[in-house]
Amino acid sequence: MDPRTQRPGAMSHGPGVIRTTCSSSGIFGVGAPPPGPAPVPGPSEGLLARGYPTTYPALLKVAQMISLLIAFLCVKNSMWTDYSAYSYFEVVTMCDLLMILVFYLVHLFCIYRMLTCISWPLAEFLHYLIGTILLLIASIVAASKSHGIGGLVAGAVFGFLATFLCTASIWLSYKISCITQATAAAV
């Protein structure tokens, strides 16, 4: 039935196509993959993003992992009396470090190309948002309970440094998302 001659409120029961896709929009929201099965990287692309370790997001992730590891080691090797405060700090730093490592490997080995049903930019943004808030709380608690013990103070300082670096990652990913949407809307 021609939609121009169809009376208002009437429904068409003819054949129709409903297309649904589940895909992420690339490494930072740049270029959505075409509908259909996930493309398998060709021999020229490979599974390793050779240029990724030299990019700013990768270097920022490495700096975050190093500062989190130093914060964890400082607190782990110090004498502390408040078990719950510092065990919370250790758990938060290790979980954050492991998640950052996972996202680093996802980008390094181009896993986002194979698992297109996960919105990787959104997952990474939510990880940084939640992880940064938990890390800030853990660093504040660690700093307030340190009582001038050098290792605990150093752990808290590196926790605050990691918090700052994670905040920078949130800001950079949001900035990139806004630029991508603005340029996509202009086209």
Query: What is d(CA 151, CA 186) in angstroms, rounded to the nearest whole number?
Result: 52
pLDDT of residue 144: 93
Residue with tokens 């939510």: 126
Residue (of 57, 65, 66) closest to 108 by Cα position:
57
Reported as a single tens digit per residue, the pLDDT across 75-112 is 999 887 778 889 999 999 999 999 999 999 999 999 98
Tell me the DSSP string of 106-134: HHHTTHHHH-TTS-HHHHHHHHHHHHHHH
Neighbours of 71 (CB within 10 A): 31
Spatial CB neighbours of 153, under 8 Å, sequence gap ≥ 6: 143, 146
Q: Tell me what pLDDT residue 85 has.
A: 87
> What is the rounded distance in angstroms from the CA atom of residue 95 to the CA atom of residue 114?
25
Q: Positive or negative CA dihedral for 78, 81, 87, 89?
A: negative
Chain position carrying tokens 């939640």: 130
Which pLDDT score, from 0 to 100, does residue 184 have?
A: 56
What would the two tokens of residue 112 be? 């986002």
The pLDDT of residue 62 is 97
